Amino acid sequence: MASVGALSLCAAAASAQTTVGFSQIGSESGWRAAETTVTMQEAETRGITLQFSDAQQRQENQIAALRSFIAQGVDAILVSPVVATGWDSVLEEAAEAEIPVVLLDRMVDSSPDLYLTAVGSDLVHEGRVAGEWLVEAVAGEPCRVVELQGTTGSSPAIDRKAGFEEGIAGADNIEIVRSQTGDFTRAQGKTVMEAFLQAENGGADICALYAHNDDMAVGAIQAIKEAGLVPGEDILVVSIDAVPDIFQALAAGEANATVELTPNMAGPAFDALAAYFADGTMPEKFIQTESRLFTQADDPQGEYDRHKDLGY
C-alpha cells in the first residue's frame, strides 16, 4: 500500500467518525448471525460508523456492495468472502482507491497484496481435530462416515474437508462413504442427512456424521431422530463452530464433539485497522483465532450459558 495511503488514512483516523463498509455473507447459520452482532457491537464501542450489507450468500451481491463502499469513499472495508475465487478485480479497485480491505473468517485465492490482513481460524486444523477425535472415539472399530460439507467453493468447505481427511488418514477402519454440501444451513443439513439415511440402509450402515458446521449437524440430528435412530449413540456427531445449540445437543447426548470458532473476528480486525490508521503499521497477513475441542465431558450446560453471551 502506498505510504501516501497511510498518511491519508491517518487523516481519516483523526476525523471524528471512521466509516467502515462491511460486506457480510448472509445469516445462513447461528454462527454467522453472531458474527454480525459482534461486529456491530465492536464498531459501536469504537465509535466506528458501519455500513452493513447482507449478500444473501451471493457473491455478486458482495462485489456490488464493495463497489458501492468504494464509490462512497469509506475508510476501510470488511468482507467475509462467500467463496474463495473471483475477487481480484474488485480488490484491485479497492487498492486503487487506497481503501484497506480486511477479510473475516474466510479466505480468498487473490494475492495477499490485495488485502491488509485476514482474521480467521486455521480451518484445516479444525477439520483435523474433528478427524482425530473420531479416530480416538471409534478406537479401531470399522466406521462408515457421512460428511455434510459447507458452501461449495468456500475456504472452510475446502479446508475443513482436507483437514478431516488428514485427521483420519492413519485409520484404515474409518471411511467417508458419502459427502455432499448442506450449504452451512440447518434446513439443508437435515435434507441431505435424510438422503444419506435412506441410501445407507435407513442409517444402520452409518457410524458417524462429520458436519462442517454445527447448524448442519443440528438439522441432521433431527433427521436421525425422525429415522428412529439415536444421535450421539447409533450415529456419532462431530461438527465445528461451538454455537449454543450444539451444547444443548451435547448435554442431551445427541452430539459428541464440536470445535470452537469465535464469532468475534471484528475485534482483531478493528484493532489492526486502528494501528494502520494511526501510523501505517502493517499487520500480519493472517491473524489467527483459537480453535478448541469440546465434548460431552466439558460441562455442556455451562458452556451453553457461556457461549450464549458471545453474541448469540
| Helical segments of 153-257, H only | 155-168, 186-199, 214-226, 244-251
Q: Which of 9, 18, 24, 31 binds ligand GZL (CB under 6 A)?
A: 31
Beta strands per DSSP E along the chain: 18-24, 48-54, 76-79, 101-104, 117-120, 143-149, 174-181, 208-211, 236-241, 257-260, 286-288, 293-295
Q: Which of residues 176-195 bind ligand GZL (CB under 6 A)?
A: 184
Q: Which is nearer to ligand GZL, 105 or 254 (CB)?
A: 105
Q: Record the cell numbers describing residue 135, joined without a space.
A: 479416530
Nearest to 308 by CA among 30, 104, 45: 30
Q: Which of residues 47-66 bind ligand GZL (CB under 6 A)?
A: none
Q: How far is the CB of 241 from ligand GZL (least distance, A)?
A: 5
Please report whether residue 87 would count as binding ligand GZL according to CB under 6 A: no
Q: Which is nearer to ligand GZL, 105 or 194 (CB)?
A: 105
| Nearest-angstrom CA–CA distance, 66 and 77 | 8
80 and 106 in contact (C-beta within 8 Å)?
Answer: yes
Q: How far is the CB of 216 from ligand GZL (least distance, A)?
A: 8
Q: How far is the CB of 273 from ligand GZL (least distance, A)?
A: 20
200 and 206 in contact (C-beta within 8 Å)?
Answer: yes
| Nearest-angstrom CA–CA distance, 206 and 143 | 7
| Nearest-angstrom CA–CA distance, 101 and 273 | 9
| Cα torsion through 206, 211, 216, 218, rounded to 10 | 70
Q: Which of 12, 21, 22, 28 binds ligand GZL (CB under 6 A)?
A: 28
Q: How far is the CB of 276 from ligand GZL (least distance, A)?
A: 23
Q: Which of 120, 127, 182, 263 binds ligand GZL (CB under 6 A)?
A: 120
Please report whether residue 29 would count as binding ligand GZL according to CB under 6 A: yes
Q: Which of 241, 245, 254, 260 binds ligand GZL (CB under 6 A)?
A: 241
Q: How far is the CB of 240 from ligand GZL (least distance, A)?
A: 6
Q: Which of 106, 186, 190, 307 binds ligand GZL (CB under 6 A)?
A: 106
**Distances, alpha carbon 128 to alpha carbons 139, 143, 201, 288, in Å:** 17, 17, 28, 16
| Nearest-angstrom CA–CA distance, 48 and 187 | 35
Scanning 24-32, 161-169, 194-202, 280-288 for contacts with ligand GZL by CB under 6 A, the matching segment is 24-32
Please report whether residue 161 would count as binding ligand GZL according to CB under 6 A: no
| Edge-first strand listing for the sheet containing 117-120 | 48-54, 18-24, 76-79, 101-104, 117-120, 286-288
Please report whether residue 261 would count as binding ligand GZL according to CB under 6 A: yes
Q: How far is the CB of 48 from ligand GZL (least distance, A)?
A: 22
Q: Which of 32, 128, 161, 307 binds ligand GZL (CB under 6 A)?
A: 32
Please report whether residue 213 would count as binding ligand GZL according to CB under 6 A: yes
| Nearest-angstrom CA–CA distance, 297 and 300 | 7
Q: Which residues are at the interface with ligand GZL (CB under 6 A)?
A: 28-29, 31-32, 105-106, 120-121, 156, 184, 213, 215, 240-241, 261
